[in-house]
Amino acid sequence: MKFTRRFVTLSGLSLLASSSSALRANWDGPITNAMEATDEFWLATDAYVFGYPLVTMEMTRRIITNVASVEGTHGPMGQIIRLREYPNASFRDVTAPNADTLYTTSFFDVGKEPWVLSIPDMKDRYALFPMLDGWTTVFQVPGKRTTGTAAQTYAITGPKWKGTLPPGVKEYKSPTNMVWLLGRIYCTGTPEDYSAVHKLQDECKLVPLSFYGKPYTPPAGAVDPSIDMKTAVREQVNRMTAKEYFTLLAKLMKDNPPAQADAPELAKFAKIGLVAGQDFDANKFDPAFEKRVPQVAFDRIMLQFKIGKPVKHINGFGYDDVTGIYGTDYLNRAFVTAIGLGANRIQDAVYPTSQKDAEGKDYEGKNKYVMHFPKGQLPPIDGFWSLTMYNADYFFVENPLNRYSLSARQNLNANPDGSVDLYIQNASPGPDKESNWLPAPSGKFILMLRMYWPKEKSPSILNGTWKVPPVRKVA
């Protein structure tokens, strides 16, 4: 089926009706007026969609690095942020946190010189260290799946850098000056395992190439008091006018050049004043589009929930099976940015998410649900899997067990026939079933199945030979 822009705009009305109150609050009804808009208007929405990942990455970078020293989930440019424990129910920094890995992350700029990342021997522990460029492409991902768990050293170089690296240092060339390291190290969450992972985190090093092999003390970060540190990144991006948005996008493209494959798309944008490597020419942009373009363009992005080609819907769970590397699929790239910034390559992680039970009804804590895995059909992975509970806003739920996810590390009890049932409800299912209990809130909730390093050979979620089982309400 071919989706014309007019079809997409009309379809957006149904999306709008089911979207969150936060999105509805920013909507002032431009979509109906846009149905007969000019070609220049639609070209501007194309440009908005194209640039959404880069603008969002920049706003995320500003907030995360706007501190003098590492503090919790924030750290200056070029300094590693080491999260020491899983988030709890009070955590609100980002949506959909996980309770499986400890993050080891950093933003750094490779425009002036390369940076050298040293990863210690992980002793066969599952870990991955994806590196994202400014357009959210995972351009390299060292880790157990790809490079093993022995000690490794990499120099991340900029798009224009040429030079010689020290012996034993492998080059990873970033397509952009902006790089986001999003390392994850698996942890069981016990005090003993926390201690073991903390030691590994402390052995991860990031230094400029000029200081490699030398003592290095990172400088204090510069704090900009004008940066909004409280408002969510997506809201800050969405409230920009089109002129503000394209001005920032043009500036960012000077240091973070688009890919060569983007040239045909970029050539079209010159008509509205957007040219890679140049300042935005607002004289070529119709000021009447100031507010309407961002609103309609973001609606097109979120419409991928319903008609996006990569989004699979199986047994009440939906997941995007093209993440991390997007090519010229700009809508999907923007969509993943909007709902899951920092997503891994599909070979490293799949995140089937469910907001409704097998009957298509919202999950509610007053009900009892069971997720049934037949014998031998638990999620097929080479890394790990977990089923995580979130409230309606994608945050953890306070509960008597302080348990936010279920996985094999809970020593799940099997039924006599070898199958496994997971009990999803607000009240305890009883002492004999608590090992398989995922506590739910009293109100509505959302489930996410994380599958790290999914198997590529059958049965596999990647080729459709394994499917997520439905979650059914029981009496």
Q: Is the pLDDT of residue 1 over 90?
A: no
Which residues, 6 or more positions from 252, have their beta carbon under 8 angstroms from its beta carbon?
51, 54, 55, 58, 134
Specify whether the CB–CB gap between 115 and 206 falls below 8 A: yes
Tally the C-alpha atoms within 13 A of residue 296's C-alpha that lie toward its C-beta: 28
Name residues whose C-beta falls within 8 Å of residue 431's C-beta, 6 or more positions apart in sequence.
Answer: none
From 250, 284, 302, give the residue that closes a domain. 302
CATH number at residue 173: 2.60.40.1610
- Tell me the CATH number at 243: 1.10.3360
Q: Is position 162 within any domain?
A: yes
Question: Which of 2-11, 146-155, 212-221, 369-378 is predicted least confidently?
Answer: 2-11
The answer as to whether 469 is a domain residue is yes
DSSP-derived secondary structure letter, 164: -
- 401 & 442 share domain: yes
**Inside any domain, residue 372:** yes
Cα 39-41-44 angle, rounded to 5 deg: 110
Same domain, 380 and 443: yes
109 C-beta neighbours (distance < 10 Å), count: 18
Q: What is the pLDDT of residue 4?
A: 38
Give the model confidence (pLDDT) of 113-145 as tens digits: 999 999 999 999 999 999 999 999 999 999 999
In terms of domains, do 39 and 137 share one? Answer: no
Q: Residue 403's closest CA among 73, 86, 84, 82? A: 86
Task: Establish if 153 belongs to a structural domain.
Answer: yes
- Residue at token pair 């390392």: 183
Is 8 part of any domain?
no
Quote the tokens at residue 94: 């980002």
Is the N-terminal amide bond of 459 cis, ω within 30° of 0? yes
Q: How far is CA 143 from the centre of its chain?
A: 18
Residues 98 and 166 in one domain: yes
Q: Quick one: 184 and 98 in the same domain?
A: yes
Same structural domain, 357 and 404 = yes
- At 37, the pLDDT band (50, 70, 90 cuts) reads low
- How far is the C-alpha of 248 from the C-alpha of 265, rounded, in Å? 18
What do you get for the CA distance between the two ends of the chain, in Å? 41
Between strands 115-119 and 317-320, the pairing is unpaired
Structurally, the chain folds into a number of domains equal to: 3
Report residue 18's pLDDT band, with 50, 70 and 90 as the boundaries. very low
Least confident interval from 20-34, 46-60, 247-261, 402-416: 20-34
Same domain assignment for residues 294 and 376: no
DSSP tag of 424:
E
- Residues facing residue 368 across a β-bridge: 474
Give the ranges where 256-364 is alpha helix by DSSP (H): 263-269, 292-302, 304-307, 330-340
Task: For residues 82 and 205, state if they share a domain.
Answer: yes
Residues 187/100, Cβ–Cβ less than 8 Å? yes
Tokens encoding 338: 């909007």
Q: What phi-psi label fits residue 394: left (phi over 0), alpha (psi between -120 and 50 degrees) or beta?
A: left
Query: Do residues 101 and 168 both lie within one domain?
Result: yes
Q: How high is the mean pLDDT of the chain?
A: 91
DSSP summary character for residue 272: G
Distance (Å, rounded) from C-alpha 355 to C-alpha 20? 13
pLDDT tens digit string along 288-336? Answer: 999 999 999 999 999 887 776 788 999 999 999 899 999 999 999 999 9
CATH number, domain with residue 438: 2.60.120.600
pLDDT digits (tens, 9 = 90+) for 73-117: 999 999 999 999 998 898 877 778 899 999 999 999 999 999 999
Nearest CA-CA partner of 165 in 107, 218, 203, 115: 115
Q: Assess if residue 5 is contained within a domain.
A: no
**Residue 197 token pair:** 């992972």
CB-based contacts of 217, cutoff 8 Å, min separation 6? none
Q: Give the SS3 label for residue 115.
A: strand
Q: Are residues 33 and 87 in the same domain?
A: no
Percent residues over pLDDT 70 in the chain: 92
The Cα–Cα gap between 391 and 365 comes to 10
Q: What residues are paired with 29 via a beta bridge?
A: none
Q: Are residues 36 and 117 in the same domain?
A: no
Report the predicted TM-score, pTM, of the whole model to 2 decimal places.
0.89
Higher pLDDT pick, 202 / 35: 202
Domain-embedded: residue 125: yes
pLDDT at 6 > cutoff 70: no
Answer with the one of 161, 178, 211 that is the final residue of a domain. Answer: 211
Residues 238 and 186 in one domain: no
Positive or negative: CA dihedral 345, 347, 349, 355: positive
pLDDT beyond 50 at 8: no
Considering the domain boundaries, does residue 11 fall inside one? no
What is the bridge-based pairing of β-strands 311-314 and 405-407? unpaired
Average pLDDT over residues 251-274: 97
Partners of 371 in the β-ladder: 422, 471
Which positions ≥6 away from 367 have C-beta within 8 Å? 425, 473
Q: Which own/partner contact pairs does 405-414 have at CB distance under 8 Å and 24+ positions apart?
A: 405/98, 405/99, 405/100, 405/438, 405/450, 406/436, 406/437, 406/438, 407/100, 408/378, 408/384, 409/188, 409/189, 410/435, 410/436, 411/435, 412/436, 414/375
What is the pLDDT, as a whole number, of residue 305? Answer: 76
205 and 117 Cβ atoms separated by less than 8 Å: yes
pLDDT digits (tens, 9 = 90+) for 253-262: 999 999 999 9
Distance CA 23, CA 43 (A): 23
Which tokens in the block code for residue 393? 């806003």
Task: Count Cβ atoms within 10 A of the Cβ of residue 207 and give its class: 0-12 exposed, 13-18 middle, 19 or more buried.
Answer: middle
Query: What's 41-72 look like in SS3?
Result: HHHHHHHHHHHHHHHHHHHHHHHHHCCCCCEC
Among the candidates 145, 178, 211, a domain finishes at 211
Which structural domain range is residue 127 located in? 71-211
Angle at 419 between CA 414 and CA 425, to 5 degrees: 70
